[in-house]
Amino acid sequence: MTAETTTHTPTTYEDLLASVSAGAEGREILDPATGELVGYAPEHSVEDLHTAVEVAADKQKAWAALSDAERCDYLQRAADAVDAAGEALAELISREQGKPLSGPGSRFEAGACSTWLRVTCSYDLSEEVVVDDEQAHAVINYRPIGVVGAIGPWNWPAMITIWQLAPALRMGNAVVVKPSEYTPLTVLALVEILNSVLPEGVLQVVSGGREVGAAISTHEKIGKIMFTGSTATGRKIAESAAATVKRLTLELGGNDAGIVLEDADPAAIAEGLFWGAFINTGQTCAALKRLYVHDSIYDAVCESLTALAGQMPMGHGVDEQNVLGPLQNKMQFDIVDELVKKATDSGARVLLGGDPDYEAPGFFYPATLIADIDPDNALVVEEQFGPALPIIRYTDLDWAVEQANKLEVGLGASVWSSDRDRAVEVARRIEAGTVWINNHGGLDPRVPFGGIKQSGYGVEFGVEGLKALGVPQVING
């Protein structure tokens, strides 16, 4: 459980898996596309967590004593190690999480890990002069928090873990990572790769159940928690963390709306709409999950999107031709299936999909488009987190904006138009942390990202995200 620096980075799939699999005494991890065994995940305990935190707290002091340039050099070399093991890591992601190697899939995810490490080192965080005049001189710097607890999800297990740990490490913190029970091997492998470069002990990983995550939220030596996951779990973390007044960055659930204005070109926006909704088979917090289309182009948008979606191959992630994979687990399959059934039972029109093969192996749910659906249907107002997109017709833009804003979540949204200035005007009326114009869900490590309302608080990425992993200290005088 306590990660140690090694001199060898495992670069083949077999070596990488062998380096993290616990053997037959661990918990079986099965491929969501086939049900076949991938490997065995270690089952760490709360006591293991306590040990990891103690080691991290001890090693953090020397890590923080390094210069910013020295820590960035470590992270750059860690990025090199990720690149060297990129294909092996991508295969493990495909086999454990399910996303295909191709398209915006596991190779994309593995590549994003090294990109985020490198870009996180590119920001200038020099001392900032706040006041400098005849009366006063004040500067602000950011100091390490100490130990950061990072709790990640199963949909983008490697990439989101990097989002959490890269800025934390650069700011001089040690990190204890707790992966999802559904995708522990990917995160264990990622940490193994990083720890082939990083100093011993500053990055720890504890693979366990909910009790381990709960212990992170109350541990007195953890000063901040980075959490990506459901709103319900985020609430519990916030409640538990209150006793020790931990700092929190919470990126929680979303139900992102897209609004297509009447001047949009249906054929031109079809691909952007598709990937906005169906990237990672819809299993993305900031995916497009409900689409409002003006009546004048509603049928044309439905036709263009259906034609494109029908051409996208779905299957086992390690098969190169596939760009859509299975849902990661049975629970998520059942959620999507139930919501689509509620939509069809209500009389909504199925444009594509909606007919899974329940007898086939794997948790495959076909890409599904649902038209002429009531705006209050469960498929619209509940987050499906899967490959089923409801398309709602509107005639009044004010009504569409009101619908976009009516839910308690506010992670992302998008506006689609041939007139960018008009799209921006509409975007300013939408209650979401990020509103994209003519795309949806595209993230940039330089651009802050975070939700509002019950989609969480705090931001990741960019200088603002980096500052969130430090403690501001003002020297006045």
For residue 133, the model assigns a pLDDT of 94
Of 247, 259, 277, nearest to 459 by C-alpha is 247
230 shares its domain with 266: no
Secondary structure of residue 318 in the 3-state scheme: coil
312 shares its domain with 350: yes
- Judge whether 449 lies within some domain: no
HSE, side-chain direction, 13 A CA sphere, residue 42: 21
- Give me the amino acid identity at 68: D
287 shares its domain with 198: no
Task: Name the pLDDT band for 1 (thresholds 50, 70, 90).
Answer: very low
For residue 419, the model assigns a pLDDT of 98
Sheet order of strands, 470-476 included? 128-132, 137-144, 470-476
- Judge whether 329 lies within some domain: yes
CATH code for position 155: 3.40.605.10
For residue 24, the model assigns a pLDDT of 80
Task: Name the pLDDT band for 257 (thresholds 50, 70, 90).
Answer: very high
For residue 7, the model assigns a pLDDT of 59
What does the radius of gyration of the chain's CA atoms come to, in whole angstroms? 23
pLDDT tens, 170-228? 999 999 999 999 999 999 999 999 999 999 999 999 999 999 999 999 999 999 999 99
pLDDT exceeds 50 at position 162: yes
415 shares its domain with 305: yes
pLDDT tens, 286-295? 999 999 999 9
What secondary structure does DSSP assign to 252-281, as a single string?
Answer: ----EEEEE-TTS-HHHHHHHHHHHHHGGG
- Average pLDDT estimate for 15-24: 91
- 192, 251, 383, 460: the catalytic one is 251
231 shares its domain with 115: yes
373 shares its domain with 308: yes
88 shares its domain with 147: yes
- Average pLDDT estimate for 75-89: 98
Tally of domains in the chain? 2
- Judge whether 8 lies within some domain: no
Q: Are the CB atoms for 284 and 154 separated by under 8 Å?
A: no
200 shares its domain with 276: no
HSE, side-chain direction, 13 A CA sphere, residue 366: 17
Tell me phi and psi for residue 205, to 5 degrees.
-135, 135
- 72, 113, 121, 285: the catalytic one is 285
How does strand 349-352 pair with strand 368-371? antiparallel
- Judge whether 1 lies within some domain: no
pLDDT exceeds 70 at position 2: no
- Judge whether 54 lies within some domain: yes
pLDDT exceeds 50 at position 244: yes
278 shares its domain with 371: yes
- Judge whether 285 lies within some domain: yes
CATH code for position 369: 3.40.309.10
73 shares its domain with 170: yes
Minimum mean pLDDT among 33-37, 124-128, 157-161, 369-373: which range?
A: 124-128
239 shares its domain with 289: no
pLDDT tens, 21-34? 988 889 999 999 99
Active site includes 271?
A: no
What secondary structure does DSSP assign to 407-449, as a single string?
Answer: SSEESEEEEE-S-HHHHHHHHTTS-SSEEEESSSS---TTS-B
Please provide the distance, in angstroms rounded to a whole number, between the alpha carbons at the two ends of the chain.
Answer: 46
Of 145, 135, 41, nearest to 96 by C-alpha is 41
- Judge whether 344 lies within some domain: yes
CA distance 252 to 106: 22
Instruction: Return mean pLDDT, the chain.
Output: 96
Check residue 295 and report its DSSP letter: G
- Judge whether 81 lies within some domain: yes
Active site includes 251?
A: yes
309 shares its domain with 217: no
pLDDT tens, 274-313? 999 999 999 999 999 999 999 999 999 999 999 999 999 9
CA distance 466 to 468: 5
For residue 3, the model assigns a pLDDT of 43
Which residue segment(s) compose the domain that 186 sits in?
Answer: 13-252+455-476
